[in-house]
Structure 1
Amino acid sequence: MTDALVLIDPAASTVEVADLGSPQLPVTDLSAHRGDGIFETVLVRIGGGVTVVSHDRHFARFRASASALGLPDPEPELWDRGLNTVIAEVLANDPTITEFGVRYALSRGTQNSDGSQSPRGWAFNVPVDEKIRRARAQGISAVSLDRGYDAYLGNKAPWLLIGAKTLSYAVNQAASRYAVEQGADEALFVSHDGVVLEGPTSNLIIRRGERLLTPPPEAGLLSGTAQRLVFDHAAELGLSAEYADFGLNDVIEADGAWYVSSMRTAVSLTQLDGNPIPRDEKLTAELQKLIMAG
């Protein structure tokens, strides 16, 4: 897949096609050495038109993250123009493509001599690679990791930005690498007081009978667009949907468990800390179809 990049200038309201292989970001940008910015990744599906999965949910979270960080409120028309430009560039280069992701980001930018800042944005395409396709088809295993704080800490310490999707993903990446070193595919964060939270880049949904359960975002996790899409349409699958605190044993003893995210859609969690979890192939396929439809 050919790379596409656009640069988005919030102050000038401009979108400019650029070369992803060329230098674009100054080292003084606060996203580069402080992770001071926000991002979203959307799945784009091609077939009978173009579908940006959960477009509005992603952008609403993008704006909420900007508010939490004190960044300028992203202007919908400008960011849609950036997103649509990337999509058009990808399709022009590969008309046969059926799905890909677009990641868009807003940085606080550089610190000016007068103390002001110059936010900058960008968007580029990311592939749906073989690892993602394999996880969709085969499921994944996970190991539980202590997140290092108690559940609901964000209610007392909003400056921790627990519910914001920031560019500071070093901990998440380290957790995923550690999980692989332990022989698993992914990590599952658990609060220090034992409440199951989320994966490094996914939300967790479990099935108990005819109920779908997921941890409440207030417990200390990112509110997921794919998870909320599933919950909004759970009744169509003959299921109820609830937010609830639960522990590791509840996951292991569930009738099924899934990691859900924009790019992977829904993948079965088949094993946790060496304990097998039943696979529900029919429901997995239904969840994937539901999320991909957007």
Structure 2
Amino acid sequence: MKPLILNFLDLSTPEGSFARREPDEALIRVDNLGITRGDGIFETAGVIEGVPLALEAHLARFARSASMLDLPEPNLDLWRRVVVDTAHQMADAGVLTGVKFCMTRGIEGEVSAPTGWALGFIADDPTAVRRDGIDVVKLDRGFRHDVAETSPWLLQGAKTLSYAVNKSVLREAERRGATDVIFTSTDGYILEGPSSSLVARIDGVYVTPPPSMGILPGTTQGDIFTCLERRGLATRVDAVKVADLDRADGVWLCSSTRGAAPVRTIDGNAVPLDHAATELINGDLDARRS
């Protein structure tokens, strides 16, 4: 990720405002709760030709995460404008870009307004990943599949800045000779990736686990299902057991900038690569406009 554009927000008033700043400018205090505690939320929207993709879905999830963390309700009109402005400034970049927008609780130990910013960046080129597929391992997340219902204070399903675990599992995947992870529940259900949603094709139906299982409602996954349904292909949001995934004839990890990355091995076992389906899905994704 290479930073290109930074807009910093002033959230001290209900209407708020934002201003262009330099990406390498020092703006965050070291006692900001986003830094010291990971106490904040974020979203990342892919951008094509200066247009942020699935923006309304990202904003809705941003507001949902804020509510789960008891953060002040974000002014979505302000956040919409700052994301659009940031994306527009990268319209001529000529490469795949994205906008990451963040809000923290503010300064630790003080009565403070939230801190917010939107960072425009050059994303990694997904061409090779989409073509060749990825090797993944299944790792236990340590919770039952119903943790969001039994223990909502654990914030499963909120997109927070607390990403230490997500980074840790990727290092564990690397130690096992893989590049990505599929989380499983302690009671044998498939969940999601550390920064992606899972879509599997099982018995001819494209299936993804439901957000009620403590996972993020995937914005890219939502767009994929919309596109598949328009083409007359069957989709379903439903629980997927580990044994069900073993029967899949196609598995994809889906995210805003990478699109649909086909999985070629799980725990060293080969998964069929359907290049035609992958190209169809990513072609539809790349054609999106907000």
TM bracket, shorter-chain basis: over 0.9
The whole-number CA distance in structure 1 between the counterparts of 2:173 and 2:108 is 37
Q: Please say if residues 2 and 90 of structure 1, whose CA atoms lie closer than 8 Å, have aligned partners that are also in contact.
A: no
Structure 2 stretches lacking a partner, 5+ long? none
Equivalence for 1:107: 104
The whole-number CA distance in structure 2 between the counterparts of 1:184 and 1:52 is 31
Aligned: 1:211 with 2:205: yes
The whole-number CA distance in structure 2 between the counterparts of 1:271 and 1:249 is 15
The whole-number CA distance in structure 2 between the counterparts of 1:127 and 1:98 is 7
Size of the aligned set, in residue pairs, is: 285
Equivalence for 2:264: 270
Equivalence for 1:127: 122
What whole-Å deviation, never above 9, does each CA across 1:218-272 have from its counterpart, x for those lacking one? 1121111111122233222331111222223322321111111111110101110
What whole-Å deviation, never above 9, does each CA across 1:171-209 have from its counterpart, x for those lacking one? 011111110111011111000111010111011111123
Which SS does the other structure have where 1:126 is aligned? Answer: strand
What whole-Å deviation, never above 9, does each CA across 1:75-97 have from its counterpart, x for those lacking one? 12211222133224334xxx251
The whole-number CA distance in structure 2 between the counterparts of 1:255 and 1:161 is 32
- Range 231-240 or range 270-279, more displaced: 231-240
Aligned: 1:287 with 2:281: yes
Aligned: 1:77 with 2:77: yes
Q: Please say if residues 136 and 266 of structure 2, whose CA atoms lie closer than 8 Å, have aligned partners that are also in contact.
A: yes
The whole-number CA distance in structure 2 between the counterparts of 1:261 and 1:25 is 27
Which SS does the other structure have where 1:22 is aligned? Answer: coil
Q: Please say if residues 43 and 58 of structure 2, whose CA atoms lie closer than 8 Å, have aligned partners that are also in contact.
A: yes
The whole-number CA distance in structure 1 between the counterparts of 2:201 and 2:279 is 15
Matching of residues 168-247 of structure 1 within 5 Å:
168-247=162-241
Which SS does the other structure have where 1:81 is aligned? Answer: helix
Q: Please say if residues 30 and 36 of structure 1, whose CA atoms lie closer than 8 Å, have aligned partners that are also in contact.
A: yes
Equivalence for 1:56: 56
Which SS does the other structure have where 1:124 is aligned? Answer: strand
For 2:195, give the aligned amino acid.
T
- Partner residue of 2:159 out of 165, 174, 189: 165
The whole-number CA distance in structure 1 between the counterparts of 2:215 and 2:146 is 9
Which SS does the other structure have where 1:171 is aligned? Answer: helix
Q: Please say if residues 15 and 81 of structure 1, whose CA atoms lie closer than 8 Å, have aligned partners that are also in contact.
A: no
Which SS does the other structure have where 2:170 is aligned? Answer: helix
Q: TM-score, normalised by structure 1?
A: 0.92
Equivalence for 1:8: 9
Identity of aligned residues (%): 35
Structure 1 stretches lacking a partner, 5+ long? none
For 1:40, give the aligned amino acid.
E
Equivalence for 1:68: 68
Q: Please say if residues 200 and 207 of structure 2, whose CA atoms lie closer than 8 Å, have aligned partners that are also in contact.
A: yes
The whole-number CA distance in structure 1 between the counterparts of 2:172 and 2:120 is 27
The whole-number CA distance in structure 2 between the counterparts of 1:142 and 1:124 is 29
Aligned: 1:23 with 2:38: no
The whole-number CA distance in structure 1 between the counterparts of 2:277 and 2:5 is 35
Equivalence for 1:33: 36
Q: Please say if residues 210 and 238 of structure 1, whose CA atoms lie closer than 8 Å, have aligned partners that are also in contact.
A: no
For 1:167, give the aligned amino acid.
L
Q: Please say if residues 100 and 127 of structure 1, whose CA atoms lie closer than 8 Å, have aligned partners that are also in contact.
A: yes
Which SS does the other structure have where 1:104 is aligned? Answer: strand
The whole-number CA distance in structure 2 between the counterparts of 1:238 and 1:80 is 32
Q: Per the alignment, do residues 77 and 203 of structure 1 end up closer, same or farther by CA in structure 2, a change over 3 Å counting?
A: same
- Partner residue of 1:97 out of 94, 114, 117: 94
Aligned: 1:145 with 2:142: no
Q: TM-score, normalised by structure 2?
A: 0.93
Deviation at 1:290, TM superposition (A): 2.0
Post-superposition, which runs of at least 4 consecutive aligned residues in structure 1 deviate over 6 A?
none
Which SS does the other structure have where 2:265 is aligned? Answer: strand
Deviation at 1:98, TM superposition (A): 4.0
Which SS does the other structure have where 1:4 is aligned? Answer: strand
The whole-number CA distance in structure 2 between the counterparts of 1:2 and 1:251 is 37
